[in-house]
Amino acid sequence: MRAALDLQFSLSFTVPKNMAASVSFRREFCSLARIFSGFSHLGPRAVFACSAHRKCNIIRSHLPVISSSSFHTGTVFLSAPSLITVTEEPDTLLQRVSLLVKGHDQAVLDSYEFFTTMAAKELGININKVYEPPKDMERLTVLKSVHIFKKHRVQYEMRTHYRCIELSHLTGSTAQVFLEYVQRNLPEGLAMEVTKTAMEKVPDHILEPMWKENPAEDGPNDVLLLDMLPLNFPSKAVGGDLQSL
Amino acid sequence: MASHTSKAFLSLGRLNIAGLGLNNSASRVTYAAALSTNSPKGDKGFPQRNGRGPVRKPRREPGEPRTEKMPLDQDWTAVYPAAAPFRPSSVPLPVRMGYPVKGGVPPEKKGNLELIKIPNFLHLTPAAIKKHCEALKPFCTEWPSALDSDAKCDELFPIKVESTDFVSAGQSVRNPSARIVHLKVKLSSFNLDKHAQRKMLKLVGERYNKDTDTLTIRADSCPLRQQNQDYAMYLLTVLYHESWKTEAWEDEKTVADMEEYSWEDSPSQKNMLNVLVRMKVAVEGEGEVREQLLGIKEVQEYKDSVTRLKNEGESESTMLQYKEAVKKVLDL
């Protein structure tokens, strides 16, 4: 079973009483909705409708045919209970999820690492290891003066610090929840790369070779292979799906 | 609609300010009385005494900072519920930041730009994280307890699909590298006979790692990740089925195409048999049949040592074995 994420901020944050906070919330929703519409592993087509006042920001996303889960952010001021939709589609299993966070400031990376590890522990996710890959220094040397004085230069360097947090044995839903939480709270100035290793069973059409029934086939067998093409193979979808980005 | 509300806000604001202004002017009166002998400016509707142009609202004195009124057991998640810049009057900590003045200390938090510039985690204290996670727990699902070790996972789910997501700030949210998909699988998890395995290795070439017995297919030719995933699975299927097929031209496989060395019908066998036949003829003066020679134990040992040498390469043990075998065959 797979639990879809219906995230309502009224649960996690205290309901703001003044206008300023709700306006900032709305801006947050706007930018984050755009970020999440960019996640290609979900591939949603987010239609963002901003209605009047301080109220509803409804982000409806239409996911491709396979899954029936949906993103729904309700109003900040409604106190309706959250809806957890459980779909019939089996949950994906992720053997490893590796978060690589890059930034210029090591103190911010330290704080973020503390936040991420604590969040993982609270949600019951196994943390494999947390380590710090060596920093990258990009140096450049430029002329100090606008005109002549070739011997006098100025050197600059840009330091990129890294932090890698490896988690293991996550289900698809848990990974979605954790990653969304952690990415919404990514501070300014940090970038993140998430590498997921999903596990799959050997599909049915690879268990047995199909030539066993017809041992004497030759040339026209290439035609038979086309039967095994999955339904949404790119040959049909190249033109259409680009619009969904 | 929005314009109405903004006007409403403004009017509200003006009312508020007007109300506070009145209070403040009253308090300012008392201040002024204490400090100087200025006449009270109770009526701000009139222009300034020294005739400066239009009326300006009197400057409100800032009230007591919130830090003075904070109880020790307050709920900090209510003070900083979401990411917000650093407010020195809301954070009851004596923080100092910046380069110290000569012979002095770093500047204090009031009016400190350095503290505002750096991202703060005041909204993500352990208490706040616990609250958030409590709210998020219902959406998580449990990992199946039967799959606790990597070995079991590999056994039941041998195909691994790797993909990367990127989060960064910039003009565009997209990252073209997010479409790349790596499909890793161990060939031992498929049922392939000897011919199929050899053909698969030849088809796949460099994508196979012999040490870990892993086939890695990298799919990046399609613009979307789902398309690349589908294509990688399709490739895997095609490879599997093609490797079971035996084409007509595969009969023309020469010795140079063979993956392993085999001693039968090799120059080494011919040479050894020639030598042995000549030895026998010299000693006994009779013609021995080649098949009988092949059956001798020493010849078998020699065959094993040569095969091992050619397949595994030169090493201490293989050379020793070859030496022993040669000595036995030639009766040295």
Contact B234 A230 (CB under 8 A): yes
The answer to which of A195-199, B7-11, B171-175 has the lowest mean pLDDT is B7-11
Q: Compute the distance between CA of residue B177 and CA of residue B271 in angstroms, rounded to an integer.
A: 58
The residue segments making up the domain with residue B190 are 150-167+177-247
Report the greatest alpha carbon distance in chain A: 82
If you measure CA to CA, which chain B residue comes closest to A239? B223
Give the model's pLDDT for residue B249: 86
- Residue A59, phi then psi, degrees to nearest 5: -110, 110
Q: Compute the distance between CA of residue A119 and CA of residue B125 in angstroms, rounded to an integer.
A: 11
Confidence label for A212 from pLDDT (cuts 50, 70 and 90): low
Residue B61 has pLDDT above 80, yes or no: yes
Which residues of A fall within a CB distance of 8 Å from B224?
40, 43, 234, 237, 241, 245
Q: List the CATH number of the domain containing B235.
A: 3.30.160.20
Residue B17 has pLDDT above 50, yes or no: no
Instruction: Tell whether B43 is covered by a domain.
Output: no
Contact B162 A198 (CB under 8 A): yes
SS3 B292: helix
- Best probe of the A interface among B80, B123, B141, by most A CBs < 10 A, is B141
**Pair B298, B268: CB distance under 8 Å:** no
SS3 B183: strand
Q: How far is B85 from chain A (nearest CA, A)?
A: 11
Give the model's pLDDT for residue B118: 92
The more confident residue out of A194 and B20 is A194
B158 and B220 in a common domain: yes
Contact B81 A16 (CB under 8 A): yes
Give the model's pLDDT for residue B285: 59
The number of beta carbons lying within 10 Å of the beta carbon of residue B277 is 15
The end-to-end CA distance of chain B, in Å, is 108
With a pLDDT cut of 70, the percent of chain A lying above it is 52
Q: List the CATH number of the domain containing A123.
A: 3.30.70.600
Which residues of B fall within a CB distance of 8 Å from A24?
82, 84
A102 and A27 in a common domain: no
The more confident residue out of A62 and B3 is B3
Give the model's pLDDT for residue B247: 85
Question: Would residue B72 be called left, alpha or beta, if left means φ above 0 and alpha means ψ between -120 and 50 degrees?
Answer: alpha
Q: Compute the distance between CA of residue A141 and CA of residue A150 in angstroms, rounded to an integer.
A: 11
Confidence label for A203 from pLDDT (cuts 50, 70 and 90): confident
Could you report the per-residue pLDDT of A214-236, keeping only the tens digit for each? 544 444 444 445 555 554 444 44
**Average pLDDT along chain B:** 81
Mean of the pLDDT values across residues A161-189? Answer: 92
Confidence label for B81 from pLDDT (cuts 50, 70 and 90): very high
Model ipTM over 0.85: no
Which residues of B fall within a CB distance of 8 Å from A16?
81
If you measure CA to CA, which chain B residue comes closest to A42? B226
Give the model's pLDDT for residue A162: 95
Whole-number Cα distances in Å, B11 to B4, B15, B20, B118, B186: 11, 6, 14, 35, 71
Instruction: Tell whether B48 is covered by a domain.
Output: no
A102 and A55 in a common domain: no
Could you report the per-residue pLDDT of B272-327, keeping only the tens digit for each? 878 877 777 777 755 566 667 667 788 888 888 888 888 888 889 888 888 888 88
Decide: residue B180, CB within 10 A, 0-12 exposed, 13-18 middle, 19+ buried.
middle
Instruction: Tell whether B6 is covered by a domain.
Output: no
**Average pLDDT along chain A:** 68
Instruction: Tell whether A139 is covered by a domain.
Output: yes
Residue A37 has pLDDT above 90, yes or no: no
Instruction: Tell whether A216 is covered by a domain.
Output: no
Confidence label for B52 from pLDDT (cuts 50, 70 and 90): low
Dihedral angle, C-alpha B104, B105, B108, B113, nearest 10 °: 100
Could you report the per-residue pLDDT of B191-225, keeping only the tens digit for each? 888 888 889 998 998 999 989 999 999 999 999 99
A117 and A46 in a common domain: no
Contact B161 A201 (CB under 8 A): no
Q: How far is B53 from chain A (nearest CA, A)?
A: 33
Residue B35 has pLDDT above 80, yes or no: no
Q: Compute the distance between CA of residue B272 and CA of residue B252 in angstroms, rounded to an integer.
A: 27
Contact B234 A84 (CB under 8 A): no
Contact A115 B165 (CB under 8 A): no
Give the model's pLDDT for residue A239: 42
Q: How far is B237 from chain A (nearest CA, A)?
A: 6
Contact A52 B160 (CB under 8 A): no
SS3 A142: strand
Which residues of A fall within a CB distance of 8 Å from B240?
206, 209
Mean of the pLDDT values across residues A104-120? Answer: 94
Residue B67 has pLDDT above 60, yes or no: yes
Instruction: Tell whether B35 is covered by a domain.
Output: no
B272 and B243 in a common domain: no
> Domains in chain A: how many in total?
2
A111 and A29 in a common domain: no
Confidence label for B246 from pLDDT (cuts 50, 70 and 90): confident
A195 and A98 in a common domain: yes
B201 and B275 in a common domain: no
Query: Per residue in B6-21, is it b (16+ CB within 10 Å) or e — as a string?
Result: eeeeeeeeeeeeeeeb
Give the model's pLDDT for residue B325: 85
Instruction: Tell whether B16 is covered by a domain.
Output: no
The residue segments making up the domain with residue A27 are 2-9+16-60
A186 and A142 in a common domain: yes
Instruction: Tell whether B61 is covered by a domain.
Output: no
Instruction: Tell whether A175 is covered by a domain.
Output: yes
Structure tokens at B33: 């009385």
Instruction: Tell whether A158 is covered by a domain.
Output: yes
**Pair B285, B279: CB distance under 8 Å:** no
Residue B229 has pLDDT above 50, yes or no: yes
Instruction: Tell whether A187 is covered by a domain.
Output: yes
Residue B23 has pLDDT above 50, yes or no: no
> Domains in chain B: how many in total?
3
Residue B117 has pLDDT above 70, yes or no: yes
**Pair A33, B157: CB distance under 8 Å:** no
Contact B227 A111 (CB under 8 A): no
Give the model's pLDDT for residue B116: 93
Which residues of B fall within a CB distance of 8 Å from A93?
143-144, 147, 153, 157
Mean of the pLDDT values across residues B161-178? Answer: 91
Instruction: Tell whether A214 is covered by a domain.
Output: no
The number of beta carbons lying within 10 Å of the beta carbon of residue B139 is 21
A195 and A139 in a common domain: yes
Give the model's pLDDT for residue B62: 83
A119 and A25 in a common domain: no
Instruction: Tell whether A172 is covered by a domain.
Output: yes
Contact A19 B129 (CB under 8 A): no
β partners of residue A47:
A60
Residue B131 has pLDDT above 90, yes or no: yes
Instruction: Tell whether B40 is covered by a domain.
Output: no
Of A105, A186, A206, the CB nearest to B167: A186
Q: Compute the distance between CA of residue A90 and CA of residue A67 in angstroms, rounded to an integer.
A: 10
Q: How many residues does chain B have?
A: 332
Instruction: Tell whether A101 is covered by a domain.
Output: yes
Q: How far is A181 from chain B (nearest CA, A)?
A: 9
A132 and A39 in a common domain: no
Of A183, A228, A238, the CB nearest to B167: A183
Global pTM?
0.67
B155 and B220 in a common domain: yes
Dihedral angle, C-alpha A39, A45, A50, A51, nearest 10 °: -140
Contact B159 A202 (CB under 8 A): yes
